[in-house]
Amino acid sequence: MLTIAISKGRILKDALPLLAEAGIEPSEDLGKTRKLIVSSKKGDVNLVIIRATDVPTFVEYGAADVGISGKDVLVEHNSDSLYEMLDLQLAKCRLMTAVIKGCELPAGKIRVATKYVSLARQYFAKKGRQVEIIKLYGSMELAPIVGLADCIVDLVDTGSTLEANNMEPQDLIMQISSRLVVNKASMKMKHEEIKELVKQLQVAVDKRC
């Protein structure tokens, strides 16, 4: 039995067809059930549906053998207890800075609103900028509008949310996509099962590229 942790939302929606190509289909409609653990139709895999930020933790501590998570979450989690096995090429977007249209960052220390505290601090440190990080969990675009921050660091897909709030993306920090990660102990104890899963998913990914 393999346990796969997947984050809710877009990653789950995009991952299900890919998993189906690898022979893994949930036994219930995940859009209707409120269960957090759902078995596969074959009964050899359990899917654990959790918040995106919790996926690396579940895999790191062995509550799940395998996880599907965005690269942004993995880098922010910053654990050396996971194997990153495969870029699934799903839920692609960009981690960027953004400001109010037409505005430039002030000289000196700036205030940055983000939920990516470590990534933002590392990025601005490389640029030699002093920053005060303001951690928010949502509605980042509000921060510059109400004067809480000079800029934000957030995921950008189409940019429509920024546009609707009179903001524009500025600097690219990193390209983001969903990755398959594996618990180190599981890789030893369930090597053949995980190896086969990675192989099947790689074939599925290659077909789409």
Q: Are residues 66 and 10 in the same domain?
A: yes
pTM of the prediction? 0.90
Total domains present in the chain: 2
Q: Are residues 13 and 41 in the same domain?
A: yes
* pLDDT given at position 72: 95
* pLDDT given at position 33: 87
Identity of the residue numbered 197: L
* pLDDT given at position 80: 87
* pLDDT given at position 209: 74
C-alpha 89/C-alpha 178 separation (Å) is 6
Q: Are residues 10 and 79 in the same domain?
A: yes
Provide block-wise average pLDDT over 10 residues at a time, the chain (209 residues).
Answer: 94 94 92 91 94 96 97 93 95 96 92 96 95 94 96 95 95 96 96 96 90
Tokens of 38: 């759902």
Q: Are residues 204 and 142 in the same domain?
A: no
* pLDDT given at position 133: 97
Q: Are residues 87 and 47 in the same domain?
A: yes
Q: Are residues 40 and 73 in the same domain?
A: yes
Q: Identify which of 84, 69, 88 has the alpha carbon closest to the alpha carbon of residue 21.
A: 88
* pLDDT given at position 28: 92
Q: Are residues 105 and 201 in the same domain?
A: no
Domain that holds residue 194: 2-91+177-208
Q: Are residues 41 and 112 in the same domain?
A: no
**Strand spans (E) along 11-144:** 37-39, 45-50, 66-70, 82-87, 93-100, 110-114, 131-135
Q: Are residues 87 and 99 in the same domain?
A: no
Q: Are residues 99 and 199 in the same domain?
A: no
Tokens of 28: 């219930």
* pLDDT given at position 30: 87
What CATH number does residue 19 fall under?
3.40.190.10
Q: Are residues 112 and 50 in the same domain?
A: no
Q: Are residues 8 and 77 in the same domain?
A: yes
